[in-house]
Structure 1
Amino acid sequence: LSLTDLVDDVFTFPNISELSYVLIRTERIAAFTEISLCMRFKTEKDENFTLFSLYTDRHDHSFVVEVREKNMFSLSIYGDQCKILKKLFTRDWTSLCLSWTSDTGDVKLWIHGDYYGRSHFQKGENISGDSIIFIGEKRPSFRGGFDKSQSFIGDIADVNLWDRALTEEEVMEFTYHDNIRGNVITWRAL
């Protein structure tokens, strides 16, 4: 998939399938010591789905954002999982921003601009190496297949990724005005 501007478009994942995902190839990642992801999604599922997964040749599950249990967002970095309790989204569009900072280990989650956070997760780590990104699916390894039980059903839009932690003001700009663009992945230039 190579589009120039997806501003009014969405990725639709119509059913449970190991073939329903979007693949994004990126340049080699020197070393993420901070990372932020913002996106919007709409789904009928309330548990066991993957929104975003970044894999490197250094480690599987380098940066994975998913919902494993009801009311529980999960961030995995190098396979270790940080769970953030949140009364989950409605069946309408959900605006999500999540950031992680290596120096402090801070994980910050915003849903519709409301902040939820947890500290001291994977402090001192970095994410680096040849990478591939999947939207709507997670696979067991860098070169492995997919597990359809963890596939996303619904719509995903406005996916943006940064190599830094966003400020609260930037998160609010994404949430309410959609005027901020990622410097690693930009929805308007996929």
Structure 2
Amino acid sequence: MKALLLLVMLTACAASPQDLTGKMFTFPEETNTANVKMNLPTQNLNAASVCFRFITDLRRRHSLFSLSTNQFSNHFLILKDEPANSLDIYINNKSVRFEGLNYELNTWHSVCSSWDAESGLGQLWFDGKPTVRRFFGESQISQPIVVLGQEQDSFGGRFDAKQSFVGMMSDIHMWDYTLSACEIQRYMDDKYFTPGNVLNWRALTFQATGRVLIETKDMTCS
């Protein structure tokens, strides 16, 4: 196990699909190198939903989920900026701030966001509570790269340590359609939800670079 963690921490490691049930990615330091890149089998997306869980103590700006294409560096970005109790969603490089969230530090949070190219509408769910639907624009996502731990200021790169994520992330799923409210609630409750058909935490293909650890998520003692 120690050898596996050392390999993930110190080298770029391309992996075949792995079942990460009960695991988490740990990003333990501010850096412009540590990241996890994920391969997307779907080349073109007319809609997308992404869900994940995270914990951090950061107050500064940091990226939670970064999807970039040759067309837009922030084609689908979930970003925490400095204002408290808010998250920013970028679609097609256009940002919308969702406020009124109960955003606590050092607490596990569950996030889902969806967007549909036909209507241009997007929405955020934070710890089971939906926000209003907002207009972002209508543009297909083509040949994307997804990065965790860093924000892509250009396609696949140009990382800035001051925007890096420090903390833990788990249960990352992505779908090529907008999830129903009931399906999102099942994800939030971690009960019988349909795994992502684009990114699936239970069969995830990824490449970890830098100091990134794969650890057991349950750190409580019984």
TM-score, length of structure 1 as denominator length: 0.91
Residues 121, 135 of structure 2: 8 Å contact kept? yes
Q: Gapped runs of 5+ residues in structure 2? A: 1-13, 205-222
1:161 aligns with 2:174: yes
**1 or 2 for the larger relative contact order (CA 8 Å, sep ≥6)?**
2
Write the letter of the residue equivalent to 2:196.
Answer: G
Partners of 1:136 and 1:86 in 2: CA distance: 25
Residues 92, 139 of structure 2: 8 Å contact kept? no
Superposed, which structure 2 residues align to 1:62-141 within 5 Å? Answer: 62-69=75-82, 70-90=84-104, 91-122=106-137, 124-128=138-142, 130-141=143-154
Which residue among 31, 43, 64 is the counterpart of 1:17?
31
Q: Which has the larger radius of gyration?
A: 2
Q: Secondary structure at the match of 1:189?
A: coil
Partners of 1:120 and 1:92 in 2: CA distance: 30
Write the letter of the residue equivalent to 1:40.
Answer: R
Residues 75, 82 of structure 1: 8 Å contact kept? yes
What is the CA distance between 1:46 and its match in structure 2?
A: 3.1
Deviation larger for 91-100 or 50-59? 50-59
Distance 1:117 1:46, change over 3 A: farther
Q: Gapped runs of 5+ residues in structure 1? A: none
Which residue among 130, 149, 156 is the counterpart of 2:162?
149
Deviation larger for 160-169 or 89-98? 89-98
- Deviation by residue 1:57-110 (Cα, 9 ceiling, x = unmatched): 233221111111322211112211111113242222101111112222222111
1:46 aligns with 2:59: yes
Partners of 1:131 and 1:29 in 2: CA distance: 7
- Residue aligning to 2:213: none
Partners of 2:157 and 2:53 in 1: CA distance: 27
- Residue aligning to 2:198: 184
TM-score, length of structure 2 as denominator length: 0.79
What is the CA distance between 1:174 and its match in structure 2?
A: 0.4
Write the letter of the residue equivalent to 2:30.
Answer: I
Partners of 1:144 and 1:177 in 2: CA distance: 33
What is the CA distance between 1:178 and its match in structure 2?
A: 4.4
Backbone CA RMSD of aligned residues: 1.6
Q: Which runs of 4+ in 1 moved over 6 A?
A: none
